[in-house]
Each structure stands twice: as C-alpha cells, then as structure tokens.
A and B are shown apart, each in its own frame.
Chain A
Amino acid sequence: MQSALSLRLAQRIGPLPLKLAGAAALAVLLAMPALHLWTDPASSLHVSAYTLTLVGKILCYAIVALAMDLVWGYTGLLSLGHGLFFALGGYGMGMYLMRAIGHDGNYQSDLPDFMVFLDWKTLPWFWQGSEHLAWALCLAVGVPGLLALVFGWLAFRSRIKGVYFSIMTQALTYAAMLLFFRNETGFGGNNGFTDFKRILGYGIAEPATRATLFLLTVLLLVAALAAGFWLVHSKFGRILTAIRDAESRLMFCGYNPLYYKLFIWVASAMLCGLAGALYVPQVGIINPGEMSPANSIEIAIWVAVGGRGSLIGPVLGAGFINAAKSWFTVAFPEYWLFFLGGLFIATTLFLPRGLLGLLRRHKENA
C-alpha cells in the first residue's frame, strides 16, 4: 500500500522534464509583473498592460478549472454551474469596487451610479458594509460557499448524480443569470459593474496595482495547486476517487458519501469565488453574462482538454483554450465556435484523458 502510494505520487508529479517545465513556467509568471513595472516600454522584454491583464485573466480561469477538476475529475460530479460561483465571487468584489468609486462617478453621489439611475435613495440591506474590502471578500467567498452548501446538501442528500446533477446545476446558473439581469435585483442589471476607479486607495489601472493583483493570482493558483495536491493524495482524496468510480460499493463499505461530496463541492465553489474576486479588478467588468450556461460548460471543456483527474491538466487546458480563444476571436472570429465545438467533440471522442493523457501515453510508448 505504502509503495503503491509513493509510486502514484511519483507518477503524479511526473518525471524530471515535467518538473523543470513547471518550475520554468512559475519563474516566468513571477517575472512578468517585474518586467511590466521595471522595464522600458520600448524594450523587447517589456510586458504590456494588455498581456499582463490577459495572462492574469487566464490564471483566474485556471484556478476555476482546478476547482472544477476537484469535483468533476476526482469526484465525478460534472457541474455545469461553476461559472455561477465564479461570477458571485466577482460580484462580491465588484460591490466593494463600486463603493470605492465614491464621489467620482458620473452622478457624484454616495450611491453607485446605477442606483442613482434607478432613483434609489438608500443602499439596499445586502450592500451594507460593502465599503470594507474584508467584508467584500467574505461575501465573495461566503456567498458561493453558502449557495453551494444549500444546493449541494439538497442534491447529494437525495443522491442526485450524473446527468441529472449536471442539468440541475445548469438550471441554477441559468436562473441566477435571469435574476441578475433584472435591474431591481440591485446589481446593475444588464450592465453589471464597471468603471472601477481604485482599490484600497490605489488606482485600479496603475501598473503597480496590476502587478500586485497578478502576483496575488499566481500565488493563489500555486496555493490552490498545493492544497489540491495534498487533498487528493490524502485518504480523503482516495474516498473522493472511490465516489467517482463506484459510489454504491463505497456505501456498502459503510461510508456516507454525502459529507465528502458536500465538502469538496463547497470548497470548490469557494475557490471559484476567490478566483472571481481576483478576476474582476483585473478585467474591470462583471456582468450577468458570466453566469450564462455556455460559460459554465466551457469551464468543463478546459478541464476535459487538459486532462481530468490530474491537477496540472486543467491549468494547462484553461491556458491553452483561452490563449487560443484570444487569438482566434481576433484572427477568425467566425470560426471560433467551430473550433470550440470541434474541440468538445474531439476531446471526448479521442482524448478521454486530455492533453496530459496524450503526453503520458507518449511517454509510455517511448
């Protein structure tokens, strides 16, 4: 047993070249903010604000993909609503950023502009305290966590799984999207939140702010990878895998899958919320479109393309697809959906273990 575990460990971390590649990638990521801040804009080493934002955005997506992998790749629950948790985290952060605009909005009011536009006189109760970043972060993590807890408890208790579970999560994010599209809900309706000015007193578009947010995102991703690594290789993680592969047998062995599923589901949602909270200040906008079912299902394909059931795979998948997306939508905007759709089909048909599986097979053959 012990040897099998160490063997698995070695397999998971991968051979030396993979380790080196990982270290190199991390070094590049850590160097990027420094290159943005301290190099001459004309030099070839300079990292532009656009690139930094784009990579920061993709890193946030990678965190979401990692969170998705924990529930889908390891526990076998395909969520088609993870975009909802991500967007809720983003809205939590967005509330703080809207309040931080202060009097610099178009209407020079204490209230966010969209509320002035709706002719509201006071802040709604759920906006109370959102002027503090700490509380906003609590909301960004706590609200997705609470929603996941309630929904997960109801769903797992009645042992909803497989396709049914996926459909219910999709309906959940769809309903939330409709709700957030309404102006009366109190989150800016269609337009969501945008035109942020500052965070903790620092200008949101300043290079130093960008670099800090980028670094935080890298750190969160690394921390999430480390925590995920520890989790899936613990005894707990093995039970998660058992739930994925043979839930009934696990139950016959005397385990109750409910709390295992619930824990990983809520943790995943909270991680998504955190990623959303880092995403919004970097991208500068959050709107209900983030909750559309199409967005959530795209997260699943990042994971599938990268390789389910491995921690580094989803990160690669999110990076690969989003980089392809930013290139495609500029170069051939009409063909992006064909490419994405083809990727969905090709991955599921030919690459059940994703790109990482391809690498491993190659290694095994060699």
Chain B
Amino acid sequence: MQLFKPLLLLLLLYSGLVAASPLAELAHADPADRAGLITQWTVQADGPRRQAVAALEEGRLFSSTDGNHVLLQGADGKLSDVDSGQPVAGDAASLDALPVNNSVRSALEAFHAASDLADPERSKRLSAIQALQDSANPGLLPLLLARQPQEPDAQVKQALLVASARLQLASPDATQRLSAIHTLADSADPATQTLLAPLADSASESDARVRAAAAQALLDLKNSQWRYNMLGYAFSGISLGSVLLLAALGLAITYGLLGVINMAHGEMLMIGAYASYVVQNLFRSWWPGAFDAYLLAALPVAFIVTFVIGMALERLIIRHLYGRPLETLLATWGISLMLIQAVRMLFGAQNVEVANPSWLSGGWVITPALTLPYNRLAIIAFVAGVLLLTWLVLNKTRLGLFVRAVTQNRRMADSVGVPTGKVDMLAFGLGSGIAGLGGVALSQIGNVGPELGQGYIVDSFMVVVLGGVGQLAGTVTGAMGLGIVNKILEPSLGAVLGKILILGFIILFIQKRPQGLFALKGRVLD
C-alpha cells in the first residue's frame, strides 16, 4: 500500500488536472488523436466533457493567429483563451476553426449515440445502438456492456447483445471473440455473414477454436437464411395463391354449374377494384376523418355492384347460349371488351391511384431477414374469410344445396323442382360478387387500371383446370399449389420461364387427371 501511495497521488493529480479543463485537453490534443480522445470520453461522459465536445462540434474553437493558443468563442460571440479563460480581443471570422475530419465526425456521432442509450424512447435507443454498432469502434464496448443489465425491453436488449458481440469480434481476447461468434450465430441476421467471414479465414485469424466456431456459425447462418428464404417464398406463394383463389373461386362455381367459362370474369375483378377507388374518393371528399375505414365500406359496394352486373349478364346473354359453351366463351369475351372500354372512357386509360389505409401499410418484422407486409397478411386473412363464407353458402343454405344439385345433374334437379334458371342467375351473381371482393383486395397490392383483369384470366383458368370443378377443395389446392410453385421457381428461373414450366406441367398433369385434382364422379356422357 505504501508503495502505491505516490503513484496514487500522481494519478489523482493528473486526473484533477484533466478534470479542471477537458476543453483544454481536447483543444491541445493532436488532431490525429482527437477522435480517440472523444471515444475515450464517450464511455464516461460528464458535463465539462460534453461542453468541450459541443464546442468542437459547433465550430466554436479556433486556433489563434500565432498557432500557440486555442480560443473559445462564447455564447456572446467574444473570444477567450481556453487555458487561462482570459478574454482575448479579435474577430472569430478571421480565424480558422479547429478541423473536424471524418474520423472525428464518426466519433462525435457515437458520442451522441451513447447519451441516447438511456433515452426513455425505445426507437431512439434502438437507433443509438445501431449508430454505435456502425461505428465499429471496440473502445465503445464497455458502454454497451454497461447498458445491458439496465435495458428493460427484450428486443432492445437483443440489439445491444448483437451490437456488443459485433464489437467484441475485434477483441484481442480469443474467448471474447468466441462468445461473440456464438451470440451472432443466434441472431440470424444475414448482415453478420461478412463480419464472420474473416474470422473463419486462417489468414486473418490465428486461433483454431475461433476459426472452427466462425465456420460453424457461418454454416448455421446460411442454413437459417435458407430456411427464412423458403419461408419467404412460401409466404409470397400463399399470398399469390390467395389472390388467384379470389379470382378463380367464382370462375370455378360458374364453370361447374353452367359448364361455361366466363371470359369477363377478370373484368369483375377490375370493376371491384374501381369500386374501391370510387368509394375511396367519396370518403376523401366527404368524410376524410374516417378515411381509414373506406376499405370496409368498399367491400359491400364492390360485391353488390358486381353481383348485379353478373346477374344481368346471365339473364341477358349467357342464358340464351345455354348448351353452347364455346359460343358463351366468345360472347363473354365480347362483354369483357365492352366493359374494359367503358371503364377506359369513364375513368381514363391510365391507372388510378388507390391508397392503402394506414393500418395496412408497413409490415411485421419476424427477423431481419423476413418481413411480412400487412397488406399481404390482410389479404390472406380476407381470402380465408371469403372462403369460409362461400363454403357456408354452398353447404349450409338452400341456394347452396340447389347449386350443388344442379352442378351434379341439371336435368334431375330440374325434374325434382329445383328452379334451375334462378339458381343459375344467383350463382352467376355470387361468382361475380366474389370476384368483385377480389378486386377490392387487388386494389391494395397492385395497379388499378382498365386492363387489371386481363392479367389474371389465364392464371385463374389454370387454377380451375388444375383443381377441377364442383368442389372448393380443388380450387383451393389448385390456387395455393400454383402460387407456391410459381414463387419457388421464380428466383431460380425467372418469372417467365417459371410460368412456362408450370404450363407444361399442367398440360402433362391433365394427361393423368383430365378432370382436375378433385373430380366429381358422375356417369354422364354426351
């Protein structure tokens, strides 16, 4: 103890000296060391140090004309010597401010981030952690470590762990590097791959254990990334499949019932999307306060409009072509041309803008590698709801009973008193109405223009061909299958080749099952 006394004294003296004037210390530090000094202060910032840093940052420190003194410009604009504190005559405008170079600037950023670490606002803490992590300065490590036990929020705490692990990667201590590698491997952030790569390399890493751990971590990361990619593809596949399902559901019902393909079905999607556009505009001009609710109002509007149009089409045109499915195909194509042109003349040929309500923007961040957009999630949930309703209508109502009866055997149903004409009309309206609902959903994820429906015709027909008719399960399987396979093939083959491959697959598939996946068994032969 005796031995240490002078040393301790010296230390005290030194720190006292420093404490007396951090400003002077900063001012007289070698320009190359200034960034290091600020970093050192970041870990233990106090009032005078903050003031000194602020003076440097705000450009209020000047070197005097002879270069021997550093002058501080006070709040009143007067200059004073940083060492003596004596006022000095002169004009700041004629002097050179102490330079702030890039390394000093990033040190300053980290300095500010450090004070934000304890900020009550969660997002501020997160961005502070991000800034410290980006500084890649191992000197800041104690700061992050000190904050960890105090952090209440689990996610922020995880961010702290990852950030400190990233800084620890450069630590000279092999055990620290090892534990950092383990922490990073658990984080599953794809950005850490480039950080870990040098540690797995014998050229830059001497410790064999660390190298092995880093290699293992890289492998794990790759695996988890692959898993998340697959999850991402599956999600976008399900999302595409649910859109296809909305488009194909009504088509499958009317095809099963009437044996005709409604080529104007895509235009029902388009009309549904335009209905949500009109409702949106009405809300915007009459009821802007409830703008976010417009989408809910658009659903019944779109359904009713397309339901009525569908029934009118059946009554006026399709009914008269009964028994001539190929002619129906052409007539409905003619209807679709007229509907497209009518919309073009009413709303213009350009795409119209349909805004997402605020509750549908943004996404659900599962990991840094996987974000699920809310509008896609909402559509999947919506499709599930529509599917449930359709199932209830088809299986639990009298209309549904009739529809199923007519689908299975029209003449027999007619004989036992099913009003087949009325059933045809209502079912056609129902199919069109479902497409109208689909149009509202599509307006949230894509462009709304007169040709919106055209892009979905071929795909939704493929769903019907694949799934067969007369059973919802077939349509659902067909839509989801097509959607997911499409999205899995897309990254490796490109969208176009993927589509062509799927078409080839469907052509081969109907060699085996000409009636689709879920065929209704019947004994009818023409």
- Contact residues of A with B, CB < 8 Å? 72, 78, 80, 151, 154-155, 157-160, 162-164, 166-168, 170-172, 174-175, 178-179, 181-182, 246-248, 293-294, 297, 300-301, 304, 334-335, 337-338, 340-345, 347-349, 352
Contacts and interface: CB of A to CB of B under 8 A. Distances in A.
Contact of A348 (B327, B496, B497): B327
A151 B508 CA distance: 10
B259 A163 contact: yes
B334 A163 contact: no
Nearest to A165: B326
Given A163-B259, A163-B326, A348 B331 contact: yes
B458 A174 contact: yes
A293 B263 CA distance: 11
A295 to B, nearest CB: 12
Contacts of A349: 317, 320-321, 331
A181 B325 contact: no
Contacts of A246: 526
A162 B331 contact: no
Nearest to A337: B341
Secondary structure call for the B interface: helix
B329 interface: yes
B507 interface: yes
Given A293-B458, A345-B335, A166 B329 contact: yes
A348 B321 contact: yes
Secondary structure call for the A interface: helix
B499 A163 contact: no
Contact of A337 (B329, B337, B500, B506): B337
5 contacts: A162-B326, A167-B465, A248-B525, A293-B457, A338-B342
Contacts, number: 125
A171 B330 contact: no
Contacts of B344: 334
A168 B331 contact: no
Looking at B263, B342, B506, which has the most chain A CB atoms within 10 Å of its CB?
B263
Contacts of A178: 496, 499-500
Contact of A163 (B329, B331, B337, B510): B329
Interface string B313-326: 00001001100111
Given A178-B500, A179-B496, A340-B337, A348 B330 contact: yes
A78 B511 contact: no
Nearest to A300: B330
A248 B334 contact: no
A300 B464 CA distance: 23
B499 A343 contact: no
A301 B330 contact: yes
B291 interface: no
B189 to A, nearest CB: 35
Contacts of B330: 297, 300-301, 304, 344, 347-348
Contacts of B260: 163
Contacts of B512: 158
Given A80-B329, A160-B510, A178-B499, 18 more contacts: A151-B507, A158-B510, A158-B512, A163-B261, A163-B326, A166-B261, A168-B465, A171-B462, A174-B458, A178-B500, A246-B526, A297-B330, A334-B344, A334-B345, A337-B341, A338-B341, A344-B333, A348-B324
